[in-house]
Amino acid sequence: MLVTGAAGGVGHLAVQLARVLGAHRVVGAIGSAAKADFVGGLGADEVVVYDEPAGWGEPVDVVLDGVGDAVLAAALRAVAPLGRLVEFSGGGLVDVVDLRMRAVSVIGFSMAPFVRRHRGVYDAQRERLWALLRSGELRPATVPLPLEQAGQAHQLIEARANLGKVVLVPRLSPRVRATDQGGVTR
């Protein structure tokens, strides 16, 4: 499995879940080499940078793409024949002839329609995620910022500079502190 946006709010959890759920090989794709240690520490077997001229290594069966346009073509090239790309964020155009010739499928995913149609599955998986969190197998990384810094939070996300999920909080208490590298806050 390859996860784009692997250092971001959703991607860093997807890398961990792929590992916990038994993916044979987990590849994290990131925008800059500065994020490599963070993504490797999440359990990725390999970390690739979007603009690596040599490509992203051996093809994978599944790509979870949360970036879209900017990396979609490279993400599609990373899918092995008969593999699947799941697009959940950025969107973009795909060459359907290429998909057909390689027998690759692309699907879109959005949580809201899924929950409306499959509430029981959603509830069961939510409980499973909470259990993984309680056991320590899933370790969310947060970048908590005071609500007054909402503008800076948006800039951080738009620049793809965050490591983990950016969270706005009304006031930072002594129990909630921002980490300098977006690591796990305890």
Interval 73-92: pLDDT, tens? 999 999 999 999 999 987 89
Residue ranges covered by each domain of the chain: 2-109, 141-186
Superfamily holding 2-109: NAD(P)-binding Rossmann-like Domain (3.40.50.720)
- SS3 annotation, the chain: CEEECCCCCCHHHHHHHHHHCCCCCCEEEECCHHHHHHHHHCCCCEEEECCCCCCCCCCEEEEEECCCCCCHHHHHHCEEEEEEEEECCCCCCCCHHHHHHHCCEEEECCHHHHHHHCHHHHHHHHHHHHHHHHHCCCCCCEEEEEHHHHHHHHHHHHCCCCCCEEEEECCCCCCCCCCCCCCCCC
Q: What is the pLDDT, as a whole number, of residue 52?
A: 86
Q: What is the pLDDT, as a whole number, of residue 170?
A: 87
Q: What is the pLDDT, as a whole number, of residue 178?
A: 53
Interval 138-184: pLDDT, tens? 999 999 999 999 999 999 999 989 999 999 998 756 665 555 444 44
